Structure 1
Amino acid sequence: HLESHDFLNLRLTSRHLKEQTEKAFGRRYFKTRKIMLSPYSINALLAMSKHAQLAQFIRHITIGLERLQYNYHDAFRPCQISALREWKEKYHEKYHFRLVEQELMERYNTDARILAQVFASLPNLESVGVCGGSLISPTKDLRRLEDEDSMQSWGAEHLIRELG
């Protein structure tokens, strides 16, 4: 049994190896998907549900409770005020855009419509759950991809990278 990093690198070595490991890859990385309710994350899940090969592997979907908040100041405690000021200068506009995008998705029930479409199109879906979580800093440790309890929602790392 290869570590995640080694397994992913092996798949990159040749087209033949990629094809030969397709089922193992799908079972290992797509059996369970945990997403956050963000346009980016939900649309990624929609794309997976439309992908003929990947859709067959998804058995369980967990919806994380991570979300952007207006009260982002709490994320900077107990940091110095200068750290908040620096973040605001660099990322506030992007953050506000993503926050409004999230609110519009919720207001017009776009998330519910997309999820209904996703659930209907996954032939082997067995369960859907909801679990808590928070936006945490990403790590380079790929082992967490296999640990559902500590797995960060799909889309959370994207937001962390984009929003500092």
Structure 2
Amino acid sequence: MPRSAESTAVERVLRRHGFEEIGEVPAVPAAGALRYRRAVTLEPGAEPWYLRSSGTDFTILPRPWLRRGLRRCWSLGRDLDEGGERDGLLLAQAVEAEPAEIRRLAAVLRQDLAGAVTGLRVRTGREHDQACLWLSAHVIGVPA
């Protein structure tokens, strides 16, 4: 996927806040460690799979990666949402021991990403028995 000035700015912001880039995985089996919001059934065999899609109901930071020390990651790639396919979907996830750190991170990312993304959604909560942040947005300037 070609990078735009905005996607380069997004990458700088995320790296500055300790996020590591992971590859785009457009579809994963439902039995795996990664999970996206959109679930579909693939034929033959009627296997359930998740498709990379916008929204904050996903897991791109599975527990085994946490054990290896990865605490914050992001991915830029396709959105395979119900409305069709387009490039430029940013997904990011962070896990911290302290909820206050996750709330601080959410606030600073909202501010730092303004102007470079549209449809920014940030959710905080708990996953893997720790405070967690999920972020979803479309990067401006990435061709559809």
User: TM-score over 0.5 for the alignment?
Assistant: no
Structure of higher CA gyration radius: 1
Q: Which has the higher contact order (CA 8 A, sep 6+)?
A: 1
Q: Which range, TM-score by smaller chain?
A: under 0.3
Quick check: which one's strand share is greater? Answer: 2
Provide TM-score, normalisation by structure 2: 0.27
Provide TM-score, normalisation by structure 1: 0.25
Quick check: which one's helix share is greater? Answer: 1
